[in-house]
Amino acid sequence: MVTAAREAKATIIESRFHQFSPFGISGVVVIAESHLTIHTWPEYGYAAVDIFTCGDTLQPSVAAQYVIDKLQSKHPSLVEMKRGLLSLGGEALPHKPLNGEPLIYDRSKELQMVP
């Protein structure tokens, strides 16, 4: 997961993993752009991975492909979800307000419904 974050050009802040007995791992890589997490159930041949990112330089698809390759996933299932504030009046939002002032706007126009 740490290497996946590096390959995606993420800024790694910290990582933490826990190995369960008799098997399985849960872990998080905290990145400046958000996080990558993994939870594994080796007894079922299953792993759940979340690559949650923001910004323009990070390449989440690179991280995803790295994890798929390293876990030798035979049946990967990828779902991309746009989260958070997506735009303001049709313009892309900056990662942080440019002038340090909080953004004030009506989110009801931008909320996504996910079935």
Higher pLDDT, 94 or 82: 82
Number of CB atoms found within 10 A of residue 47's CB: 17
Q: Which of 36-40, 47-51, 65-69, 81-85 has the lowest mean pLDDT?
A: 81-85
The CATH number of domain 2-70, selected from 3.40.30.10, 3.30.565.10, 3.60.90.10, 3.30.70.890: 3.60.90.10
**Nearest of 55, 82, 78, 81 to residue 67 by alpha carbon:** 78
3-class state of residue 72 by DSSP: coil
- At residue 29's C-alpha, the angle toward residues 67 and 46, to 5°, is 40
For residue 58, pLDDT over 70 is answered with yes
pLDDT-based confidence at 95, cuts 50/70/90? Answer: low
Note whether 8 and 59 are within 8 A (CB): yes
Domain ranges of the chain: 2-70
Q: Which two tokens stand for residue 41?
A: 């159930």
Active centre residues (catalytic): 34, 39, 54
The model scores a pTM over 0.85? no
